[in-house]
Amino acid sequence: MTNIKFDTSALKQFVDENELKEIKPMLNTARDELLNGTGVESEMRQWMTLPIDYDKEEFSRIKQAANKIQSDSKILVVIGIGGSYLGAKMALDFLHDNFYESADSNKYPKVVFAGNSISGSYVNDLIKLIGDKDFSVNVISKSGTTTEPSIAFRIFRQLLINKYGKDEANQRIYVTTDAKNGALRQEVNENNYESFVIPNGIGGRYSVLSAVGLLPIAASGADIDQLMKGAADAQKHYMDTSLEDNGALQYAAYRNILYRKGYTNEILENYEPNLRFLAEWWKQLAGETEGKSNKGIYPSSANFSTDLHSLGQYIQQGMRNLMETVVRIEEPQSDIKIPVTGNNNDGIQYLEGKSMNYVNDKAFQSVIIAHTNGGVPNMVVNLKDQSEYSLGELIYFFEFAIAVSGYLNGINPFNQPGVEDYKSNMFALLGKPGYEDLKNKIEKDM
């Protein structure tokens, strides 16, 4: 079934065979907490069964909305931050070629993102990109009051109204929000926007397989039926198999064995440039899930071979608190051979006639050898290809493994209390009503 093969052969010098057996009882307890809902905040586990138990009527409406966007828009502006944009951005980059967004001849709309920063320059640049092109907006926020997307939605909604008038603008706004409550739900009711639901039992970082990710992914021309099928098959596999046959459980186990030995920083790596946002999505998933109570593996990323020329030195000979997890694509989207020129001025005549993917794979093998010899444990997630089916499985692999890993480390995997701290300070400094006392305290301490 699985398009994923989890390889731990490079861990032999770092993890003894008995250590996996010793952590297994704790791992099984963590898995059972997740599966049976006996762990903390169990109401936030709806993502676990989402690939099979999803709203079929809404799924159909998502595809209809995507078809409408494709027919009347050259650009779709997706407004959201954190899990409300990272999953979709990751999937679009993963599934399409590296320059799909810059191809004006593409029959599908460009999907671009806003509301993930507070940069006026970025917004102005995006407005210039839109120019006089037809566009639509998909705003994603459970509360409807998150600062960054709220600012962006005000700006792009006004652009729509200025261009099309209020009635047609309302037909070009798609809202993904809470089913009943919140500022955006109120606006949906007042303006009759097309709307989709963020389920109550799914946090932002686990939401890519809900309407949060599915509408932008479908609008880009990707096959969301295959995406959900890959995730559904993964759900059956990872929920029903034991440690010996379950790569996701093995990943959770090994990274925690290494963490307890002092390997506190994990680098997610790839060898394909359009997998960069896979790591960005994974960093939120891992960081928000595990980084609490002064505990947790610190998630970082690297894109090889590019970052071998910047981070490679540190990984090879820096502090020995690093572990690496490589996402390796077995069958890349395309390939090209190195030309035969008849001279060796550039010193690569020995590579003539070989494919770039062949060279890339040898670089991967070389790095594994060098880094393990240098004292850095390596794990490899081998993924068959960059299809929708494979991505669906990969999403579920990481979501399941990281949730188990949180429980295994005695952490609530589904809250993020620390995220609110900076927001309160920002609201106070911006003069938001209700934060006067905090503002006075901050100004006194400054």
Q: Where does the pLDDT of residue 107 fall: very low under 50, low under 70, confident under 90, or very high at 90 and above? A: confident
The CA–CA distances, whole Å, from 76 to 69, 134, 143, 173, 363 equal 7, 9, 22, 10, 37
Residues 6+ apart with CB under 8 A from 419: 288
Q: pLDDT tens across 148-190, in order?
A: 999 999 999 999 999 999 999 999 999 999 999 999 999 999 9
Per-residue pLDDT at 421: 66
Q: pLDDT tens across 366-378, in order?
A: 999 999 999 999 9
Q: Would you list the DSSP string of 38-72?
A: -STTGGG-GGGTTTTS--HHHHHHHHHHHHHHHHH
Q: pLDDT tens across 258-294, in order?
A: 999 999 999 999 999 999 999 999 999 999 999 999 9
Identify the active-site residue in 5, 236, 337, 423. Answer: 423
Tell me the C-alpha distance between 221 and 216, whole Å: 9
Across residues 299-307, what is the average pLDDT?
97
Which residues on adjacent β-strands are paired with residue 75? 110, 135
- Residue 423 bears catalytic tag: yes
Across residues 344-369, what is the average pLDDT?
95
Tell me the C-alpha distance between 122 and 112, whole Å: 11
**CA-atom Rg of the chain in angstroms:** 23
Q: pLDDT tens across 320-337, in order?
A: 999 999 999 999 999 999
Tell me the C-alpha distance between 226 and 392, whole Å: 8
Please tell me the pTM assigned to this model. 0.95
The answer, yes or no, to whether residue 101 has pLDDT greater than 90, is no
Buried b (16+ CB within 10 A) or exposed e, 54-68: beeeebebbeebbeb
Tokens of 110: 């460009």
Identify the active-site residue in 187, 269, 280, 288. Answer: 288
Across residues 89-97, what is the average pLDDT?
96
Residues 6+ apart with CB under 8 A from 362: none
Among residues 44, 397, 257, 310, the alpha carbon closest in space to that of 300 is found at 310
The DSSP call for residue 130 is H
The answer, yes or no, to whether residue 228 has pLDDT greater than 60, is yes
- Residue 101 bears catalytic tag: no
Per-residue pLDDT at 422: 66
